[in-house]
Every structure is written in structure tokens, then in C-alpha cells.
Amino acid sequence: MAARLSHGGDELAETHEINVTPFIDVMLVLLIIFMVAAPLATVDVPVDLPSSNAPPRPHPEKPVTLTIRADLTLAINGADVARDGLAAALDQAAGGDKDQRITLSADRVVSYGDLTAVMNSLRTAGYLKVSLVGLDGGGAP
């Protein structure tokens, strides 16, 4: 960008330009500094942690899976269950452990309202830990 200034009869020409080269040099130096410093900031500090006396919580060998089919019938671990007997069937499958996680899988055509109704039934039965199962991949419409 150039500007011409005229003062009286003299023609005084000045050009005003911003030199960005030092700015770019400073940015590149800062980039290199951060690239070198970032891995150093994530180094683990060796710590001698105390051991715990609590017994490890056993994981269920076979999780309790509640399935909602396309025709809105329910199944627990593959066995058909009536909607009114859901709480008793869950208690039997989970061994009465209300803290056990229930994995819930539903057919794609099941409406959100029907899924919510089943989740409300789980809450009423006392099962508050619910995992929703889905497929990985780009198959979503």
C-alpha cells in the first residue's frame, strides 16, 4: 500500500508497508518451542502408590441383555419375557443385584417412545445402570 503526500509545491512520496517477516519468524520459533515442549509436559512422574485392601469387584461373566424386538416383544439374554413380568425376570437374571448394568438393545424400527417406556420399566424395577447398545460404522441413514 503506497500513499503520496504532497506538501506545498514539493512532492514528497512515502510508502507505508508492514513488514511481516519478523512476525512469521517469531511464530515459527514459538511453534518449534511448543512442539518440543509438548511431549515433555506429558511425561509420567514415577510414584509409589499404596495398595488397596478392598477385594476386587467381580465382573459378571455374562451381562444381562434386554432386547426389544421390532414387534415390541422383550427378551432377556435371548429368552422371551412378558412386559408385566419384566421386573421378576430381571431379578432372576441379575441374581437380585440392582447395581448390575443392564445392556439394552432395540431394533431400528422401535420408536423412541417405546424405548423410553421400557427404560422407565427398568427404573421402576430398580435397575438404574442401563447401557444402550449400537453398531459401529457409517450405516446410519
pLDDT in tens, 60-76: 577 888 999 889 889 99
Confidence of residue 25 (pLDDT cuts 50, 70, 90): very high
**What is the mean predicted confidence (pLDDT) over 69-98?**
88
Spatial distance between the Cα atoms of 47 and 132, rounded to a whole number of angstroms: 37
pLDDT (0 to 100) of residue 39: 78
Give domain limits for the chain: 65-133
Confidence of residue 78 (pLDDT cuts 50, 70, 90): confident
Question: Are 90 and 73 spatial neighbours (Cβ–Cβ below 8 Å)?
Answer: no
Domain 65-133 has CATH 3.30.70.1150: no
| CA neighbor of 132 nearest in space, from 104, 92, 112 | 104
pLDDT (0 to 100) of residue 140: 47
Give a three-class secondary structure readout of the chain: CEEEEEECCEEEEEECCCCCHHHHHHHHHHHHHHHHHHHHHCCCCCCCCCCCCCCCCCCCCCCEEEEECCCCCEEECCEEECHHHHHHHHHHHHCCCCCCCEEEEECCCCCHHHHHHHHHHHHHHCCCCEEECCCCCCCCC
Higher pLDDT, 20 or 137: 20
Higher pLDDT, 84 or 141: 84
Percent of the chain with pLDDT over 90: 15
